[in-house]
Amino acid sequence: MEYTQKSNVGFHPTATKAPSTGIARQNTGVDMSKFASAMAQSFQSAQNSQSAVVINDQPFDMLPVPVAMSQTIASATGTGATAVTAYFGNEPYFNSTPTTNGSGAGSVTNTYGDGWSGKGYNQLFNAITRGVRCYGLTISFITTSTGAQNPSGLNTAATTLLVADLVGANQIPKGIVLNAGARNTQYLSGTMTVIYQFNINCLTQLSYSVPVGNTVSLTLLSTPQA
């Protein structure tokens, strides 16, 4: 049907031009004031029919950083047993903690606190460009058979931060001096906490020595308040 303008405020059914005034556009266009309401009703209708679920919540952070990261190494006693060097982080790619101390298969056990045998930590190190910022570490030596603290383990721990330089399978070592840490010798003679900032990333490992017959717990403090 054609329209023709009859006056300044109306149109006649014989016009040859499309409507151009604001009033005409409003009459022929979408009323935006009703659009949001219509959409809300549509979502409500869909929800009522179980074809959609609207969750009014904040987005979940899919990259959580734990308050602390931990590892426990236990080395059994037995004929031929010797101290072993344990490694924290990136074991599938660089150095790995041995599973024997010389006294038989399985005489050394390695348990990570992520519940994924360390793979969860490794994924986190890879996901964050510069890795996880750590604000210190706590290391504890216990004689497994008695449950008593073993202060001599601190003297031989040789805790070291290792960074792969990707040249000839070498690693750059940075020693962490445990004697610079703090402890309450009255109660925890075999435990040391070192306040020391460093990053653990996809090219980094920590190493430390585990005596025979000891259970060693290493905790990295990955938040300042830890």
User: How much is the pTM?
Assistant: 0.74
Look at the chain and report how many structural domains it folds into: 2
pLDDT at 20 over 90: no
Whether 127 maps to a domain, the answer reads yes
pLDDT at 18 over 80: no
Q: Are residues 14 and 104 in the same domain?
A: no
Whether 53 maps to a domain, the answer reads no
Q: Are residues 98 and 38 in the same domain?
A: no
Q: Annotate 165-211 with DSSP letters as a single string.
A: -SSTT-EEEEE--GGGSB--TTT-TTEEEE---EEE-TTEEEEEEE-
Report how far residue 56's alpha carbon sits from residue 48's, in angstroms, rounded to the nearest whole number: 16
Q: What is the pLDDT of residue 178?
A: 84
Whether 55 maps to a domain, the answer reads no
Q: Are residues 72 and 152 in the same domain?
A: yes
Q: Are residues 37 and 98 in the same domain?
A: no
Q: What is the pLDDT of residues 60-81, one digit of tens each?
A: 677 888 999 999 999 999 999 9
Range among 18-22, 40-44, 150-154, 207-211 with highest mean pLDDT value: 207-211
Q: Give 12's Cβ-side CA count (13 Å radius).
A: 8
Q: What is the pLDDT of residues 95-135, one digit of tens each?
A: 999 999 999 999 999 999 999 999 999 999 999 888 999 99
Q: What percent of the chain has pLDDT over 90?
A: 60
In contact, 119 and 97? CB cutoff 8 Å: no
Distances in Å between the Cα of 124 and the Cα atoms of 62, 131, 162 are 11, 7, 18
Whether 54 maps to a domain, the answer reads no
- If one counts every other C-beta atom within 10 angstroms of the C-beta of residue 217, the result is 17
Whether 21 maps to a domain, the answer reads yes
pLDDT at 24 over 60: no
Q: Are residues 43 and 122 in the same domain?
A: no
Which tokens go with 199?
């990053």
Whether 31 maps to a domain, the answer reads yes
Q: What is the pLDDT of residue 4?
A: 47
Q: Are residues 81 and 40 in the same domain?
A: no
Q: Which CATH number fits the domain that encloses residue 105? A: 2.60.120
Q: Are residues 72 and 43 in the same domain?
A: no
- If one counts every other C-beta atom within 10 angstroms of the C-beta of residue 98, the result is 17
Q: Which H or E run includes 51?
A: none
Q: What is the pLDDT of residue 189?
A: 86
Q: What is the pLDDT of residues 87-97, one digit of tens each?
A: 999 999 999 99
Whether 226 maps to a domain, the answer reads no
Q: Are residues 8 and 94 in the same domain?
A: no
Whether 123 maps to a domain, the answer reads yes
Distances in Å between the Cα of 123 and the Cα atoms of 63, 137, 139 are 10, 20, 23
Confidence class for position 179, pLDDT limits 50, 70, 90: confident
Domain region containing 133: 68-221
Q: Are residues 44 and 103 in the same domain?
A: no
In contact, 190 and 69? CB cutoff 8 Å: no
Q: Are residues 133 and 187 in the same domain?
A: yes
In contact, 138 and 221? CB cutoff 8 Å: yes
Q: Are residues 36 and 140 in the same domain?
A: no
Q: Are residues 72 and 28 in the same domain?
A: no
